[in-house]
Structure 1
């Protein structure tokens, strides 16, 4: 287990539904006394579900800092002992530590431990470990917040889902969310029009926030070393990804960029490797079909 002591979390870019749920849970803990007076308790546990790189860990950090509580992170894949009997004791000790004082505990890669107990491939000891984990979740105090994250929701035991007060489903980001995230990652050093183009490329490849951050970081390093604007470095890096697409996909993407009117036909040609003659021919056909 580690205690997250990194700097302030950047306000995460989230789907509206996820943001509403995260803020609601935080508000419940900040207003705990009002709930207790009404005979209610705040949400004690929440399950974060979604593919890698969509912000699950970042949201846990943001919630902990919003609540003014330490964030404890336990990567369950790292505590799986070769002697399974020890793993249950390890998890109990960590959870007891987190219960001792108000905190936010993130159980990462929950599916490593909380697998379906009807999976015939799993040994009996691991199935008993799931039971231990469920008991600990049931006993979690309202003074702390237990978060769990998984990239593989289908592997979880059905009983696990029922134990959590809230389930937050993190989808892959859309173009607007990618654009907002890129603006953060580039520290506002690139024009909105450029970010919109890059976001469109990333979305066409089902990219995550983590993918966008890697692309932006690489572009900023390239901009410094080559002494070029971040926007140019970002477009060049983006173009390298586009040119790995098949020719029909590049033509389709080039047409989307031209019609979105974010850049000139010449720049679209440079970015996608599709000739201006091809673009003009497609535009002519579309006009004739109308």
Structure 2
């Protein structure tokens, strides 16, 4: 009797979702049923999965019409669009990933390319991912890269930008965005997740914000497998613990390693032809910065080279001079030696690094006589 009641409840739930005009939720529910009946009724489960695979895709006329009919959500008061939409995401330069990040992103692509194999096994591709890490390490870039590789539009919602003193309006805005994103086969990026998904025991929170977090968690749980939801935060420590559990994959973006700093320098210096010694010098002086900070420093140097009509090496010297003081004495000495070997006068090297000319001469003689590098 209980089994019969459960099946009746399932039929009623599917009917309720269909009549409410929520096709994505219908698909999600059918996929759950297929997994549930895989052991008990394998033929039924197979038929359900086959129906899902035959459903409208983003390339079909039906899907295109549905997307065209759905208006982009706007703030009810300002009438400004809540989403930033990139129909065909592009990248100015190819990203540099640490190995762990690269593995995770490649897995996402592989799952989407082989989704039919997953569906046949009662599985679905990863639907939700949490990107964490300090600013400028490539979280937003990774979302854009995934959208490009998957040939999907990128929809970005900056949660800190939609926060309002009137939280009821913030809640309505977020719900409108999530409903719209569910209807589009794209990649949704929720940027600055910590703006609303803070710990719910925060004494400064109010009931409306806590309810908003609860709604967000439910949406993450029910996100359709046809879409991909990515949330990013610079402050993982502020997130409600329940948020971590909701995401199927978590990817931490670290600061660049030494090897990655070298690659970033080669990438951002572009067509500038500089001796290898400058790559080594910059790798020390720019260590500990994010990719975006490294790019900013080097792009400023390239602009200065053009606008002041000076060699790129002179512009890079200014970058070194601005950042060399906090470095340990040994590393400043190594930089001084490299710059001297690059043909820069000892007086200039002293001005750039603060290393005395007497010390520079000693290091140069030591190198020439076969002494240890950097001593």
The equivalences for 1:140-159 within 5 A come to: 140-159=223-242
For residues 26-78 of structure 1, the C-alpha deviation after alignment (integer angstroms, 9 at most, x for no partner) is 11112211211122110001000000011111111111000000001100001
Instruction: Establish whether residue 186 from structure 1 lines up as the match of residue 269 from structure 2.
Output: yes
Task: Note the C-alpha offset of 1:188.
Answer: 3.6
Show the counterpart of 2:70. none
Unaligned ranges ≥5, structure 2: 1-82
Is contact 1:54-1:172 (8 Å) kept?
yes
Q: Normalized against structure 1, the TM-score is what?
A: 0.89
Distance 1:217 1:98, change over 3 A: same
C-alpha separation between the residues in 2 aligned to 1:128 and 1:21? 32
Instruction: Establish whether residue 44 from structure 1 lines up as the match of residue 44 from structure 2.
Output: no
| Bigger relative CO (Cα 8 Å, ≥ 6 apart) | 1
For residues 109-165 of structure 1, the C-alpha deviation after alignment (integer angstroms, 9 at most, x for no partner) is 000010001112211211111101001111111111100100000000000001111
C-alpha separation between the residues in 2 aligned to 1:270 and 1:31? 58
C-alpha separation between the residues in 2 aligned to 1:2 and 1:31? 29
Distance 1:107 1:7, change over 3 A: closer
C-alpha separation between the residues in 2 aligned to 1:209 and 1:74? 22
SS in 2 for 1:118: coil
For residues 264-284 of structure 1, the C-alpha deviation after alignment (integer angstroms, 9 at most, x for no partner) is 283643431211213456898
Distance 1:7 1:101, change over 3 A: closer
Show the counterpart of 2:302. 220
SS in 2 for 1:274: coil
For residues 87-128 of structure 1, the C-alpha deviation after alignment (integer angstroms, 9 at most, x for no partner) is 121111101111112100100000001000111221121111
Distance 1:268 1:20, change over 3 A: farther
SS in 2 for 1:69: coil
Is contact 1:48-1:147 (8 Å) kept?
yes
The equivalences for 1:175-214 within 5 A come to: 175-191=258-274, 192-203=276-287, 206-214=288-296
Is contact 1:74-1:107 (8 Å) kept?
yes
C-alpha separation between the residues in 2 aligned to 1:70 and 1:274? 52
C-alpha separation between the residues in 2 aligned to 1:88 and 1:270? 57
C-alpha separation between the residues in 2 aligned to 1:52 and 1:3? 22
Number of aligned positions between the proteins: 280
Show the counterpart of 1:254. 332
Is contact 2:88-2:151 (8 Å) kept?
no
The equivalences for 1:1-290 within 5 A come to: 1-4=83-86, 8-9=90-91, 10-191=93-274, 192-203=276-287, 206-242=288-324, 245=325, 249=327, 251-257=329-335, 261=338, 264=341, 266=346, 268-279=349-360
C-alpha separation between the residues in 2 aligned to 1:235 and 1:105? 42
Task: Note the C-alpha offset of 1:166.
Answer: 0.7
Distance 1:75 1:181, change over 3 A: same
Q: Which structure: larger Rg?
A: 2
C-alpha separation between the residues in 2 aligned to 1:256 and 1:162? 47
Unaligned ranges ≥5, structure 1: none
Task: Note the C-alpha offset of 1:263.
Answer: 5.3
Show the counterpart of 2:3. none
Q: Normalized against structure 2, the TM-score is what?
A: 0.69
C-alpha separation between the residues in 2 aligned to 1:7 and 1:272? 42
C-alpha separation between the residues in 2 aligned to 1:214 and 1:50? 19
SS in 1 for 2:318: helix
